[in-house]
Amino acid sequence: MEPFSHKKEHMDEKMLKIEVNLDDIPGEWLGHVMDLLFDAGVNDVFYIPIYMKKNRPGVMLQILCNKEKLDKVSAILFQETTTLGIRYFPITVHRLERRFLSVSTKWGEVTVKEGLYQGELIQRSPEYEDCRKIAELQNIPLKAVYQEVWRNI
């Protein structure tokens, strides 16, 4: 389950989108940086392929996090990447109410996350890590686990 909880639908106005453009960083470092950022408690991390000045290929690293994480995220970016500057954008995130239920499959339990918009169920998703562990332990395709969860909801 998530380290944070959204018991009610709400607007989160204490968020930042943080981004840096990187054109001189080894690809192997990017996964390490992502792990560090998630360990620091950010909500999301993603990379976008871009072209920079002089037509050099690069990567835009974007992070979504609470404003309280800014110092920690900045330290990671300056210490672990090749960036010389960081852009910060205040952002509001509309968060759905979330519920979790446990679904029994023939291989074990899987947590399913549900999203409610204005009190109505509109999203439902099996937790990837639960499904991945079952697929690995049972030596079966991941999609077979997902199909079994959907049959049992």
48 shares its domain with 67? yes
Please indicate, yes or no, if residue 31 is contained in any of the structural domains: yes
pLDDT at 7: 79
- What φ, ψ does residue 87 adopt, rounded to 5°? -100, 140
Structurally, how many domains does the chain consist of? 2
How much of the chain is helix, strand and coil, in % rounded to 5?
35, 45, 25
pLDDT above 90 covers a percentage of the chain that reads 92
Q: Has residue 5 got a pLDDT over 60?
A: no
Residue-wise pLDDT for 58-110, tens only, equals: 999 999 999 999 999 999 999 999 999 999 999 999 999 999 999 999 999 99
Q: Which of 77, 93, 109 is the last residue of a domain?
A: 93
